[in-house]
Amino acid sequence: MTEPVDPATWLQRRTSFGSVAADYAALRPGYPADAVAFLLGDRPLRVLDLGAGTGLLTDVLVAAGHEVVAVDPSAEMLDQLRTRHPGVPALAGGAEQVPLPDASVDAVVAGQAAHWFDPGPAAAELRRVLRPGGTVGFVWNVRDERVPWVAALGSALAGEARGHEADQGVVAAFAAGLPADVATAESRVVQRVTPEQVVGGIGTRSYVATMDAAGRAAFLGGIRELLATHPDTRGREVLELPYRTDAHRLTQR
């Protein structure tokens, strides 16, 4: 088990995504439709996509027929989202201070974002903006390390990642703070990417985005070397990078 990241480093990582917004939009995986259906059902809702980033979860919400309002603290990430979805309102803000009126949405969802929220004040804000009976949905894509080369990649990242890619107990904290009952579902998504796109996607991780230029180049060089030499990836032009998608539906009591 890795040591927790100190608060200053955590804050730096939390606010690092603007510097990699374009690559984030191009290289991060999307979300499977069945995960969104599990979180929200099949009836069109007014949904807050909180920590919406470049709009990867917004893609699926819009395709499912939901009315979406997006909120994110990064202007650069929101610019990417507005390009993808010019018809979706995109507002600057965070989970601890949501720029929406009381009881204005049927559901709040967050893709690859809720581990950056402060559960105490954020839970209070979610209670405020949700209509009675509203739902909260958190979803994360996590590399499926049951595949050997993906496990080797995870090992190479572990020292820097320090657990900042997934849940870390935030679901339980929100379940207590709302309060809410939790249901979970697992799905899958696979990216077909070149080795260099794998390297570029790793470059959008907060722990890499906050490195200095020399450190980042050396770190990504190590990832490039791993992919060039691992027996499952050596010489391959296209890789299938599998993810497990974990969806958590929180229903207010």
Amino acid occupying residue 83: T
Q: Which residues pair with 165 in a beta bridge?
A: none
Domains of the chain: 7-142+164-189+243-252 (3.40.50.150)
Q: What does the alpha-carbon distance between residue 137 and residue 155 come to, in Å, rounded to a whole number?
A: 29
Give pTM, 2 decimals. 0.89
For 189, the token pair is 């998504």
Quick check: 77 and 18 in contact, CB under 8 A? yes
Sheet holding 90-92, edge to edge: 90-92, 67-72, 46-50, 105-111, 130-143, 239-252, 180-193
In contact, 130 and 46? CB cutoff 8 Å:
no
Q: What DSSP character marks residue 171?
A: H
User: How confident is the prediction along the chain (253 residues), in pLDDT tens digits per residue?
Assistant: 334 555 554 455 545 555 568 888 999 999 999 999 999 999 999 999 999 999 999 999 999 999 999 999 999 999 999 999 999 999 999 999 999 999 999 999 999 999 989 999 999 999 999 999 999 999 999 999 999 999 999 999 987 766 554 556 899 999 999 999 999 999 999 999 999 999 999 999 888 888 899 999 999 999 999 999 999 999 999 999 999 999 999 999 9
